[in-house]
Chains A and B, each alone.
Chain A
Amino acid sequence: MYPVEVVGLNKSYGKVRALNGLNFSVNPGEIFGIIGPDGSGKSTLFRILTTLLLPDSGVALVDGFDTIKDYKKIRNRIGYMPGRFSLYKDLTVEENLKLFATVFNSDIKQNYYLIEPIYKQLEPFSGRRAGNLSGGMKQKLALSCALIHKPSVLFLDEPTTGVDPVSRKEFWEILSTLSKEGITIVVSTPYMDEASLCTRVALMLKGRILKSDTPADIVKSYTRELYSVKSKNISGLLKDLKRVPEVKSVFAFGEHLHLSLDPGTITLDKINEIIIKQGYRDVYINKIFPTIEDTYMLFSEEDFKNGR
């Protein structure tokens, strides 16, 4: 039995198709990442899985229970952290935690070991009102509240959005500890770099899953050759490279350009020659391994070409 299983899930808001025939399943104890930009349907999916929305068609099972019929059973066993901070801002850290422990018929002591590493950091502020915490602290408190009853599946909707890089890193470390405790985690994020921290990921775009696999296998499915190009005039180079017919795609990627080619169509020397001929100096080109983001770009490009 899968902790989460989704078959042919559809959901529309009026004319907008938020979810378009989703299929995937999550294995016990894994960190399953749902990766996609804003508006790709991540939050709608989370709300269906947490029994808050009804799908138009299709089936979603959590721990084998149907999200429509057995919603009460699901609500007893999941932990949910919505996309925006949803605790009581005028209650203190401790009051929030106590309240949510009571909500799940538990108490703070019972599963304290689970939240200890997180809550330890919050303890100095236990008397502070939740509204006055920093962004990272708020997310840690929200995670503590979602964990206090030791859920079997934890749903985290964009937990690291708007959180500083250090806190983000800490947050993912906590998630990996939790998954070792046997808790299945479904987490969404718009940050592609976080995908590699998941056991498996599903790449979402416009309500569909483009690809679902382990981060390593997703990267392997990248069929083109990928190069990193560095020069002084990045934006000019980007424009000029786009004009080369053999170049499949060029994206700005921080201080570099990521350039993709179909294997065997043009040699690296030829590309180099074109660049030099156009007057660029100090150009460095390296063949690189694709990241999840490169793969996502490729898939969404193919998706666009397929006219969807």
Chain B
Amino acid sequence: MKQFGAFVKKEFFHILRDPRTVMLLLIMPVIQIILFGFALTNEVKNVNIAVFNSDLSIESRIITERLSAGESFQIKKYLHSHTEIPEVIEKGEVKLVIVFNKGFGSDLRHTGKASVNVIADASEPNLAQSALMYATNIIRASSQEFLKGGEVSSAPRVEPSLRLLYNPQLKSAYNFVPGVMGMILMLICAMMTSISIVREKETGTMELLLASPVKPFGIIIAKTIPYFVISVINIATILVLSIYLLNVPISGSLFWLLFISFLFVLVSLSVGMLISTLVDSQVAAMLISGMVFMMPVILLSGMIYPVENMPKILQVIAQIIPAKWFIAGARKLMIQGVDVVYALREIAVLTFMLILFFGLTIKNFKYRLD
């Protein structure tokens, strides 16, 4: 135990004597959150829209007028046929097309029910979602006014039927918070840990320690502790920033969000330890953790592109990426705010991965040089 303490102390010395790296590790999440946060502003202002009105009733005209009345939308084009709809969206002239089908006005008057088609270009999902919300609100508000005569029902009867192009799930704008967490924790825990263990092999200190009575596995566990501490600090930084800077509240249980985060930290640390047992040079450790673990985290974990939209083969590969499960679980617990039972599958998979990677590390661990 005294030995273990001495090694943990030594690891902190290593890290603290390289202040540039410490700063980088601690500031990185701040920069990422701010960058993503400002890149993803969701203010709807002067969004270009097109209207295809084949109904030409008073109601549809009033709604069209209302849409263009505020600062949110600007009607750029009035369309005359269905075939023009994909054209204007593909050209990027408009973000939204509002379609009133024939009979909209009379349906509304006689049955109290009518539908408006709203077609959105969701290649910019956050903008599309906000624009849709604005449009929906305007349509609902106006149609409620028509019914104020009170004869049919008090409930709004115009149901906008939405059709999203390119990104049907329309992921939440704040999905990137769990994503940034997943990426940074993987970077610190897997990459930094594996590099720091392999460095001991490269500089020959591992040779010296192996020839001593120290339990070599203890040395490796001691290596993970400072990175665990840095990870905890980073989790706190990211959560505080997302609550107070981005106004993304933790809608679920903080306890379970922290639980799944720590679980993921442990999985990442075991990935780092596993890599260190497989390679002998820092460059190799960096390449493996970078290419095999980091790149997929960014591309396949659903942080940028939704997993469901990927080709089948990539979806299968994505399943074995720990960050994918963490991000999915953290989204549920943080953004959707659902009960922990809905994240049990993610927790189970991460626990399984932790046991698997840790087991492989122990199995691969060498008590000699060859």
Q: Which residue of B lies closest to A50 (CB)?
A: B211
- A66-104: contact bitstring with B at CB < 8 Å (1 yes, 0 no)? 000001100110101010111111110001001110111
Q: Is A47 an interface residue (CB 8 A)?
A: yes
Kindly state the separation between the CA atoms of A297 and B204 in the bound complex, as whole angstroms.
33
9 contacts between A and B (CB under 8 A): A53-B369, A80-B211, A82-B204, A85-B204, A88-B205, A90-B14, A91-B14, A102-B2, A104-B213
Give the interface size class of chain B: 20 to 34
- B1-20: contact bitstring with A at CB < 8 Å (1 yes, 0 no)? 01100110010011001100
Which residues from A are CB-within-8-Å of B369?
Answer: 47, 52-53
Q: Which residue of B lies closest to A73 (CB)?
A: B213
Given A51-B368, A80-B208, decide whether A88 and B10 contact each other with a Cβ distance below 8 A: yes
- Please indicate which of the listed interface residues A72, A76, A84, A88 has the most CB atoms of chain B within 10 Å of its own CB: A88
Contact A78 B211 (CB under 8 A): yes
Question: Other CB < 8 Å A-B pairs besides A78-B211, A99-B7, 20 of them?
Answer: A50-B211, A52-B210, A52-B369, A53-B370, A54-B370, A75-B210, A75-B211, A75-B213, A76-B213, A80-B212, A82-B204, A85-B204, A86-B207, A88-B10, A88-B205, A90-B13, A90-B17, A95-B10, A104-B212, A105-B213
Contact A103 B18 (CB under 8 A): no
Kindly state the separation between the CA atoms of A122 and B211 in the bound complex, as whole angstroms.
24
Contact B213 A103 (CB under 8 A): yes
Given A90-B14, A95-B10, A102-B6, decide whether A54 and B368 contact each other with a Cβ distance below 8 A: yes
Which residues from B are CB-within-8-Å of A89?
Answer: 203
Kindly state the separation between the CA atoms of A287 and B2 in the bound complex, as whole angstroms.
63
Kindly state the separation between the CA atoms of A140 and B312 in the bound complex, as whole angstroms.
62
Contact A52 B18 (CB under 8 A): no
State the main secondary structure of chain B at its contact with A. Answer: helix
- A241-285: contact bitstring with B at CB < 8 Å (1 yes, 0 no)? 000000000000000000000000000000000000000000000
Contact A91 B10 (CB under 8 A): yes
Contact A52 B209 (CB under 8 A): no
Q: Which residue of A lies closest to B219 (CB)?
A: A103
Kindly state the separation between the CA atoms of A51 and B369 in the bound complex, as whole angstroms.
9
Q: Is B362 an interface residue (CB 8 A)?
A: no
User: Which parts of B211-250 form the interface with A (CB within 8 Å)?
Assistant: 211-214
Contact A82 B368 (CB under 8 A): no
User: Which parts of B168-207 form the interface with A (CB within 8 Å)?
Assistant: 203-205, 207
Which residues from A are CB-within-8-Å of B13?
Answer: 90-91, 95
Give A206 Cβ to nearest chain B Cβ, in Å.
Answer: 21
- B354-370: contact bitstring with A at CB < 8 Å (1 yes, 0 no)? 00000000000001111
Which residues from B are CB-within-8-Å of A91?
Answer: 10, 13-14
Kindly state the separation between the CA atoms of A51 and B14 in the bound complex, as whole angstroms.
28
Give B1 Cβ to nearest chain A Cβ, in Å.
Answer: 11
Kindly state the separation between the CA atoms of A53 and B13 in the bound complex, as whole angstroms.
30
Q: Which residue of A lies closest to B204 (CB)?
A: A86
Of B2, B7, B208, which contacts A86 at CB under 8 A? B208
Kindly state the separation between the CA atoms of A98 and B209 in the bound complex, as whole angstroms.
14
Contact A75 B212 (CB under 8 A): yes
Contact B212 A103 (CB under 8 A): yes
User: Which parts of A44-63 form the interface with B (CB within 8 Å)?
Assistant: 47, 50-54
Kindly state the separation between the CA atoms of A94 and B208 in the bound complex, as whole angstroms.
17
Kindly state the separation between the CA atoms of A153 and B208 in the bound complex, as whole angstroms.
15
State the main secondary structure of chain A at its contact with B. Answer: loop
Kindly state the separation between the CA atoms of A50 and B6 in the bound complex, as whole angstroms.
23
Kindly state the separation between the CA atoms of A98 and B3 in the bound complex, as whole angstroms.
11
Which residues from B are CB-within-8-Å of A87?
Answer: 205, 208
Which residues from B are CB-within-8-Å of A53?
Answer: 368-370
Give A158 Cβ to nearest chain B Cβ, in Å.
Answer: 13
Of A52, A54, A99, which contacts B211 at CB under 8 A? A52
Give A15 Cβ to nearest chain B Cβ, in Å.
Answer: 16
Which residues from B are CB-within-8-Å of A102?
Answer: 2-3, 6
Give the top 4 A-B pairs by smallest Cβ distance, nearest first.
A86-B204, A102-B6, A50-B211, A80-B211
Give B195 Cβ to nearest chain A Cβ, in Å.
Answer: 15
Given A52-B368, A95-B13, decide whether A86 and B211 contact each other with a Cβ distance below 8 A: no
Q: Which residue of A lies closest to B205 (CB)?
A: A86
Contact A99 B6 (CB under 8 A): yes
Kindly state the separation between the CA atoms of A80 and B206 in the bound complex, as whole angstroms.
12
Which residues from B are CB-within-8-Å of A105?
Answer: 3, 213
Kindly state the separation between the CA atoms of A83 and B368 in the bound complex, as whole angstroms.
17
Kindly state the separation between the CA atoms of A78 and B212 in the bound complex, as whole angstroms.
8
Kindly state the separation between the CA atoms of A29 and B223 in the bound complex, as whole angstroms.
38
Which residues from B are CB-within-8-Å of A85?
Answer: 204
Which residues from B are CB-within-8-Å of A52?
Answer: 207, 210-211, 368-369
Contact B368 A103 (CB under 8 A): no
Kindly state the separation between the CA atoms of A88 and B214 in the bound complex, as whole angstroms.
16
Kindly state the separation between the CA atoms of A104 and B6 in the bound complex, as whole angstroms.
12
User: Which parts of B336-370 form the interface with A (CB within 8 Å)?
Assistant: 367-370
Give A68 Cβ to nearest chain B Cβ, in Å.
Answer: 10
Which residues from B are CB-within-8-Å of A95?
Answer: 10, 13
Q: Which residue of A lies closest to B6 (CB)?
A: A102
Give B3 Cβ to nearest chain A Cβ, in Å.
Answer: 6
Given A76-B213, A104-B213, decide whether A99 and B10 contact each other with a Cβ distance below 8 A: yes
Given A47-B369, A90-B17, decide whether A84 and B204 contact each other with a Cβ distance below 8 A: yes
Kindly state the separation between the CA atoms of A50 and B367 in the bound complex, as whole angstroms.
12
Give A185 Cβ to nearest chain B Cβ, in Å.
Answer: 16
Kindly state the separation between the CA atoms of A72 and B211 in the bound complex, as whole angstroms.
9
Q: Which residue of A lies closest to B366 (CB)?
A: A52
Which residues from A are CB-within-8-Å of B370?
Answer: 53-54
